[in-house]
Structure 1
Amino acid sequence: MSSEVQPRPDDSPNTSGGSSDTEQREAAPPEQPGPEQRDQSQPKKKEAKISSKTAAKLSTSAKRIQKELAEITLDPPPNCSAGPKGDNIYEWRSTILGPPGSVYEGGVFFLDIAFTPDYPFKPPKVTFRTRIYHCNINSQGVICLDILKDNWSPALTISKVLLSICSLLTDCNPGESSHTFLIMFQLHFCMENIYQII
């Protein structure tokens, strides 16, 4: 048995040209992408185009939402407040105090406001988180309000929407009653008539 230590291949000094392995690795020309790598870069360009369109939409809506946030912070509508839930500018929480002189006076109502990337060209989705008994608000908190549906206009703002909701709490609009409320009202009316007959 020999007590000599055999040098490992990477421990041996490099004798070719006097440069070390590290220098040779650094001096090596960059590898040209193979056909597989080139094919992978093609979809990324397409994705970049798609995402730039989405980003433009997002930035337009985000700018508008930021502007409305600044306005509602400086000059909130009476009995209302609203702002982002967290870091997401597209998800807001609003608080409405029951309008004075209405049956909701003294109540505190929480609403969720969800903006889409198409805002302000499409209305935000506004729903009551606090349960409320109202002919224009269904059991899931969905509000039957024309400006949140067919009569939406990009000229409208969240401040105007909140004012309209406060107005709806003061004076309900039975012409736009939620389906659930109409069924409950009709059932109540029928039951009342049955009891009168008995």
Structure 2
Amino acid sequence: MQRNLRMKKELQMFVQSPPRGVSCWTNDEDNMTQLTAQIIGGEGTPYEGGIFKLEIQIPDRYPFEPPKVNFVTPIYHPNIDSGGRICLDTLKMPPKGAWKPCLNVSTVLTSIQLLMAEPNPEDPLMTEIANEFQYNKSMYLQTAREWTKKHAMDDYVQVTNLSSPESKSSESKGLCSVSDKSKELKRTHPPQPLDDMTNKKVRN
């Protein structure tokens, strides 16, 4: 009961003030434990121009346990493996992680968006990609762009086509939609606190 009430509030917050470049919605209005999210690749990153789909599972003890988040869209990144698993402190329980009950799905997705823009090669899931990021940056950027074009560009076209029946249906279910208007994508928002949204290791 507490988890469902919490999730209803969080999704309402998404509708009222969604983070820039992020959308999230329920797969079933009667089930608040399975969510789908999408993140627009940030400008100036090798993921620019793509939309990356994620699946979110809300555990029974949420918010005292972090949500489980996986990428569905393949992404070439040192901290995200081929199965979509993400190495991020805000997705882990202390003492190794930085999850706190005051965090929420919105802050988690914003953290992942930040991680996409600023990989942490010191704590990688994909060692080979981390080494490439550190010692052959141009090759990393080229491959990441190719993956984005191959795996994320089609989703971008489908999601931003707001005239499609699918997108209208999504909006009717409370989707925090991502606008296809360039002005909307370039709209600036006040920066959010990043104290709990870095991927740096927690110091004892």
Partner Cα separation in structure 2 for residue 142 and residue 118 of structure 1? 21
| Distance apart, 1:83 and its partner CA | 1.1
Identity of counterpart residues, as a percentage? 40
Q: TM (normalized to structure 2)?
A: 0.60
C-alpha contact 2:41 2:48 (8 A) present in aligned 1: yes
Partner Cα separation in structure 2 for residue 141 and residue 174 of structure 1? 17
- Say whether residues 1:109 and 2:52 are aligned partners: yes
Instruction: Name which structure has the greater RCO, CA cutoff 8 Å, separation 6+.
Output: 2
- Higher fraction of helix: 1
Partner Cα separation in structure 2 for residue 78 and residue 183 of structure 1? 31
Amino acid at match of 1:72: F
The aligned residue for residue 67 of structure 1 is 9
Q: Which among 124, 148, 156 is matched to residue 177 of structure 1?
A: 124
**Structure 2 residue runs without a partner (length 5+):** 135-204
| Distance apart, 1:135 and its partner CA | 0.3
C-alpha contact 2:78 2:129 (8 A) present in aligned 1: no
| Distance apart, 1:73 and its partner CA | 1.3
The aligned residue for residue 105 of structure 2 is 158
C-alpha contact 2:41 2:47 (8 A) present in aligned 1: yes
Paired positions, count: 128
| Distance apart, 1:186 and its partner CA | 6.2
- Say whether residues 1:145 and 2:88 are aligned partners: yes
The aligned residue for residue 36 of structure 2 is 93
From the superposition, tell whether residues 82 and 185 of structure 1 become closer, same or farther in structure 2 (CA, over 3 Å). closer
User: Cα RMSD between the aligned structures?
Assistant: 1.7
- Per-residue deviation, residues 101-134 of structure 1 (Å, max 9, x unmatched): 1110001100000001100000000100000010
Amino acid at match of 1:168: L
SS of residue in 2 equivalent to 1:153: coil
From the superposition, tell whether residues 171 and 67 of structure 1 become closer, same or farther in structure 2 (CA, over 3 Å). same
Amino acid at match of 2:90: I
The aligned residue for residue 29 of structure 1 is none
From the superposition, tell whether residues 184 and 170 of structure 1 become closer, same or farther in structure 2 (CA, over 3 Å). closer
SS of residue in 2 equivalent to 1:89: strand
Runs of 4+ off more than 4 Å: 183-187
SS of residue in 1 equivalent to 2:35: strand
C-alpha contact 2:77 2:129 (8 A) present in aligned 1: no
The aligned residue for residue 45 of structure 1 is none
Computing the radius of gyration from Cα coordinates, the structure with the larger value is 1
The aligned residue for residue 182 of structure 2 is none
Q: TM (normalized to structure 1)?
A: 0.62
The aligned residue for residue 168 of structure 1 is 115
